[in-house]
Amino acid sequence: MDDADVALRNDTYRLVVDLGRVPTAPQVAAVTGRTAEDVLAGWLRLHDAHALVLEAGGTAIRMANPFSGVPTAHRVQAEGRWWYANCAWDAFGICAALGTDGRIESSCPDCGEPLAVAVRDREPDRDDLLFLCPVPAQHWWDDIVAT
Amino acid sequence: MNLFRSEEHLTRWLGDRGPGATLPVRQLSALAYAWWGDRLDPAWRPHTREQNQAILDRLGLTGSFWRLG
């Protein structure tokens, strides 16, 4: 990943926060002086480097980890907004990335009942929940969306 | 990667699925802060595999399941 692609990645992430959702290529182009085609080409390189994840077709961001480009079962309220996370790990990651407290809402896959946990000063406010990582680390990127 | 209400719910849901790895939610939060805490840093640089493995190791996430390959 060269410096130009790191800069594109950082510009993209900055817009995630500014907009409250993952940006489109034209949105990134408009604020960075790049063309949308250049943005898409850079995003593809970042996708290949596992710095973000594109939708099939390569024209939109599916994951700017820990942020999700699509609605999911894992939501985070932080900084006065709701954010979608890719998974429970990423939900805590949104609080971490934003450097703020937050409230995470998800649901138990077994019973379907909603779960909520607050994060205060980097710590969850309850200890009874368990996190399952189903895929060994060496296989996380075999299919990152499924992981 | 999901949160479960309790060990009972997790065990019932797993059934015949592979066991994966289970963490208490407090350890998950610590992992998330170590893993994602720099993602919006204007000076962000990509983590190396060694850096990420060191994060897992520091949190006691060792053994073959947690080897990044």
CATH code, domain with A8:
1.10.10
- Domain ranges (residues) in chain B: 23-69
Residue of B nearest to A51 (CA): B46
Amino acid identity for residue A134 in this structure: P
DSSP for B3-65, please give it.
EES-HHHHHHHHTTS---EEEEHHHHHHHHHHHHTTTT-TT--PPPHHHHHHHHHHTT--SGG
Residue percentage of chain A with pLDDT more than 90: 91
Residue A16 scores a pLDDT above 90: yes
What is the nearest CA distance from A134 to chain B, expressed in angstroms? 4
**Residue A24: which pLDDT band, with cuts at 50, 70 and 90?**
very high
- Residues A129 and A100 reside in one and the same domain: yes
Assess B69–A contact: CB distance below 8 Å, yes or no: yes
How many domains does chain A fold into?
A: 2
Residue-level pLDDT at A147: 73
Alpha helices in chain A (DSSP H): 3-19, 25-32, 36-48, 88-98
**Are the C-beta atoms of residues A123 and B29 closer than 8 Å to each other?**
yes
- A71 shares a domain with A122: yes
What pLDDT is stored for residue A1 in this prediction?
Answer: 87
pTM above 0.90, yes or no: yes
How confident is the model at residue A101, as a pLDDT? 97
Q: What is the pLDDT of residue A145?
A: 79
The pLDDT score that the predictor gives to residue A31 is: 93
Alpha-carbon distance A48 to A40, whole Å? 12
Claim to verify: residue A99 and residue A145 sit in the same structural domain: yes
pLDDT value of position A52:
96
Q: Final residue of a domain: which of A64, A83, A104?
A: A64
CB A61, CB A52: distance < 8 Å = yes
Mapping DSSP to helix (H, G, I), strand (E, B) and coil, where does residue A133 land? Answer: strand
A99, A142: one domain: yes
* Residues spanned by the domain of A53: 3-64
CB-based contact A137 B46, cutoff 8 Å: no
**CB pair distance less than 8 Å for B3 and A13:** no
Of A36, A64, A92, which closes a domain? A64
Give this complex's ipTM: 0.94
* Residues of chain B found within 8 Å of residue A87, distances taken between Cβ atoms: 1-2
Q: Which of A21, A48, A64 is the last residue of a domain?
A: A64
Q: Which of B5, B30, B32 sits opposite A108 (nearest CB)?
A: B5
A74 in the same domain as A42: no
Q: Which residue of B has its CA nearest to A107?
A: B3
pLDDT digits (tens, 9 = 90+) for B6-42: 999 999 999 988 889 999 999 999 999 999 999 999 9
Contact B13, B57 (CB under 8 A): no
